[in-house]
Amino acid sequence: MKEQGSNGQKIVIFEQDGSADYKIAGIEVYGRNITIRQVVDLQGPFPEFIEDPGQYLDMDFEGELVLDFLRHPDLSYYLVELCRQKSIPVIASGQHIPGAICPFTCCGLGRKEGLGEYGRQFGVPEYRVELEEGRIKSIRVARGASCGATWQVCRQIEGLRADEAPTVISRQVQYLCLSDPSDFDPVSGKSAVHFAGEVHRAALERALKRAIHTKKV
């Protein structure tokens, strides 16, 4: 267990064999007024069925938000129950656990009450774009994926024509995305990687429409 910092919204991250390392780095680099108070890394291997998850997880954690990156379902279900007892909201991206907030990917988290600075800064991407002669002069991230991909692609978008940029950003985000490409959403039929690309494409298209409208006004 690692403990870090003391300022801002206090979050606790549970990971399994380093599964959240990329997300932790993204939060530390791009987050503001957020403190990763604890990182609990459970080391496997684990049995296929964990009869007593309490031997691996206990109540000894405190925070305002928990991020669940555990891979074993028995551990995640037990963690959510512990958080319910502590009245701490849990985000478990890519999972399906009653009582937790479960977006398909980290960039699929909608705006929800009670998630503090993390919920305001991370989730479905939001861009602010400035255009000049039909090209992207500047692009700023107002909200993005905790993995950091939303920010990392910006330098590849500046200078592009407005009509080509959405396709480019979708492709580049898919290159960066660490989600399992075989993980398909049963509703949309899209993989998590494809979903991430489309979410960023849509975000940029919205930003471009706002920029074009602003120039016309």
State the DSSP H helix or E strand holding residue 212, giving kind and residue range, or none if neither: helix 192-216
Q: Which long-range contacts link 203-206 to residues 24+ away (Cβ below 8 Å)?
A: 203/124, 203/125, 203/126, 203/127, 203/150, 204/127, 204/129, 204/139, 204/157, 204/165, 204/166, 204/169, 205/166, 206/126, 206/127
pLDDT digit string (tens) for 180-204? Answer: 766 666 656 679 999 999 999 999 9
What mean pLDDT comes out for the span 4-9?
Answer: 69
Q: How far is CA 69 from CA 91, 98, 129, 165, in A?
A: 9, 15, 32, 32
The confidence score (pLDDT) of residue 214 equals 79
What's the rounded mean pLDDT across residues 203-215?
Answer: 91
CA dihedral 92, 98, 101, 102 (to 10 degrees): 60
pLDDT at position 213, please?
81
Overall pTM surpassing 0.85 (yes/no): yes
pLDDT at 179: 80
Residue 188: what pLDDT?
62
Residue 191 DSSP label: B
Q: Please write the tens of the pLDDT for every residue from 116-168.
A: 999 999 999 999 999 999 999 999 999 999 999 999 999 999 999 999 999 99
* pLDDT at site 64: 98
Give pLDDT tens digits for 72-91.
Answer: 999 999 999 999 999 999 99
Domains of the chain: 2-102 (3.40.50.2300), 126-216 (3.90.1010.10)
pLDDT in tens, 14-40: 999 999 999 999 999 999 999 999 999
Distance CA 129, CA 185 (A): 30
